[in-house]
Chains A and B, each alone.
Chain A
Amino acid sequence: MSEPILALSGLTRRFSTGGGFLRPARSMTAVRGVDLQVARGDIVGVVGESGCGKSTLARLAMRLLEPSDGTIRFEGQDVTHLGGRALKSLRKKLQMVFQDPYSSLDPRYTVRDCIEEPFRALGEPVPPGRVEDLLDQVGLPRSFAESYPHQMSGGQRQRVGIARALAYAPDFVVLDEPTASLDVSIQAQIIALLQDLHRQRDLTYLFISHDLGLVRYFCSRIVVMYLGSVVEVMEDPHAAPRHPYTRALMESSFVPDPEARATIVPLEGEIPSPFALPQGCPFAPRCPRVQDRCRSELPQPTATTIGRVSCFNPIEA
């Protein structure tokens, strides 16, 4: 692999809550010790259940949240604690598309205002015709430039969100569940648009999703997270998973073909509270392949034929 465009190492983020009159403050680890390298041109999918820290990871990579520990390198430069002007110029190369197209656009901004905002935020003039070009690229009629978000559908708004993210011609785009709040038919359109843009503009994506089927279709690598940690990295999205959690996720996705439909065996038990993580492997309480060792020791990532897995008893290929 050539030099990665984004390299996270040991990235950790803790949140503390409470701290009331009679309650001590508690702290939870939303992301712990994540190592991840994204090569230029890659589409890396991050999957996991809600609350596993994937959105927090996206915001850490975007420098919207400060990491408690670890480093972020972008194009070889350490950007973990970048501030001021340097952070602003990083923002030009690093953009984000948000999950909810309803709250990610200011209701008082026209489409033109939204798309021009990245330039205004950095105090730079808007290149003439840029808004119209971007509308063409995301497949919206130019007449939408003076419309307000409330006059558009969810899919159209998400296209505006994508146009805004591309306004500065970034190299790297974080997509935080960009299709999760859209209808299935619209999801397909947005994914097709993202694929086109990826090809045309030589982009790199970090794609956050909980839809493993979509990630397997769209991404070139898959990162599976569970309770803040990366449990498996799959270089080949269509390979058979090694981690019992990845397999459980895959088995729980619905298959449209009734002939191929198998009985879904749901995972037993609840996700442990992130405030009180169990000793050892966080997946141990729910794991069908659990051993004694899993409850006391934290498995370290080990290389597999398709990537790496953090498990003492991985599924053999």
Chain B
Amino acid sequence: MTVTAPVSGLLPALRRSAPVQAFASWKGGVAGTFLILVVLGALFAPWLTPYGFDVQNLPGAFQPPNLAHPMGTDEFGRDVLTRILYGARTSLSVSAVAIAISLFCGMVLGASAGYFGGRFDRAVMVAVDLTWAFPEILVALMLVAIIGPGTTGTLVAICVAYLAQFTRLTRAQVMALKSETFVEAARGMGASNAAILFRHLLPNCLGPVLVAGMLATGDAIILEATLGFFGLGAQPPTPSWGGMMSSGSGLLFKGPWIILFPGLCIALTVVAINMFGDALLHKLDVRERVRTA
């Protein structure tokens, strides 16, 4: 490779990107594969299963796992695997979308509070700390009580419950970074506040914040399941993992598989997200990149 040739091309750039690098590690590979399978399962649920998630078959209720129903059937004779696949749609999309919105708002709020400081900073932090004074589940329950049960309520609840964490993290990072000389140097070169925020400060705190977001997605799945368990999440007949566990809890001895499989799905997904987040954290650190030249 000559030095003057631009190092471009989508493929090498993709190969160097942190998620792909994380995938190449043992831990990230296993976790990533599992997550991709879950997401594919959720996306292609209608084609993967011959059953409908809301089709009842009362004579076939309480079947233990067998060839026709690998995860058994529930109290209405619905296929548990089918409901898990459809449930993944609710659980994953609500958690991921909620965390994405929360992450974005938290980063913008935290970065501008940390960068500009002063009264704006104090106002933002007071508002954000108010939500942090209570456990996440309490904040979430309160919000769902106000908005009403259902996916929208759950979404807003998760958003607000994790906003404080992202805001505080970004703010702390930006405050540490803004006193670095390279920020002063950028100002000396004539860079605007927006350029400093978006080209220097945010890219430098992106790594830890993204990983925090990834790990929070795991927590958010549990929070969504908890709300579902309390009957405050997605409303029947729409399946969600938490809702399935809730209805299975009363039938623990009659049909343990009804609660076992959604529980297992929640646990494995959360563990996989944490593992992948961990692998990503390592790869996002530029200092770990080896010199290629």
Contacts and interface: CB of A to CB of B under 8 A. Distances in A.
Interface stretch (A14-22, A114-122, A210-218): A114-122
Contacts of A109: 182
B187 A64 contact: yes
B189 to A, nearest CB: 4
A95 B4 CA distance: 27
Contacts of A122: 189-190
B156 to A, nearest CB: 34
B129 interface: no
Given A64-B187, A91-B188, A145 B3 contact: yes
Contacts of A96: 185, 188
B173 to A, nearest CB: 13
A117 B189 contact: yes
Contact of B286 (A104, A120, A146, A148): A148
B288 to A, nearest CB: 10
B293 A106 contact: no
For the side of the interface on A, what is the size category? 35 or more
Contact of A106 (B182, B190, B292): B182
B204 A107 contact: yes
A81 interface: no
A146 B293 contact: yes
Contact of B190 (A88, A107, A161): A88
B200 interface: yes
B195 to A, nearest CB: 6
Contact of B191 (A121, A143, A145): A121
Contact of A108 (B187, B188, B190, B286): B286
Interface string A53-77: 0000001001010000000000000
Given A118-B189, A121-B189, A150-B287, A64 B204 contact: no
A64 B188 contact: yes
A251 B3 CA distance: 50
Contact of B181 (A104, A117, A144): A104
A105 B182 CA distance: 5
A106 B204 contact: yes
A106 B200 CA distance: 7
Contact of A107 (B7, B191, B192, B286): B286
A113 B199 CA distance: 11
A151 B188 contact: no
B200 to A, nearest CB: 6
Given A64-B187, A118-B189, A142 B182 contact: no
B185 A98 contact: yes
Contact of A147 (B188, B191, B203, B291): B291
B289 interface: yes
Contacts of B289: 148
Contacts of B184: 59, 64, 98
Contacts of A62: 188
B172 interface: no
Contacts of A95: 188-189
A132 interface: yes
A284 B291 CA distance: 55
A156 B182 CA distance: 16
A108 B204 contact: yes
19 contacts: A87-B190, A88-B190, A91-B190, A95-B188, A95-B189, A98-B185, A99-B181, A106-B182, A106-B200, A106-B204, A107-B287, A108-B203, A117-B191, A121-B195, A122-B190, A132-B3, A132-B4, A142-B4, A148-B289
Given A105-B182, A107-B286, 19 more contacts: A91-B189, A91-B190, A96-B185, A98-B181, A98-B185, A100-B181, A104-B185, A106-B182, A106-B200, A108-B203, A118-B189, A118-B190, A120-B191, A121-B186, A122-B189, A132-B4, A147-B291, A147-B293, A150-B286
Interface of A: 59, 62, 64, 87-88, 91-92, 95-96, 98-100, 103-109, 117-118, 120-122, 132, 142-148, 150-151, 161, 164
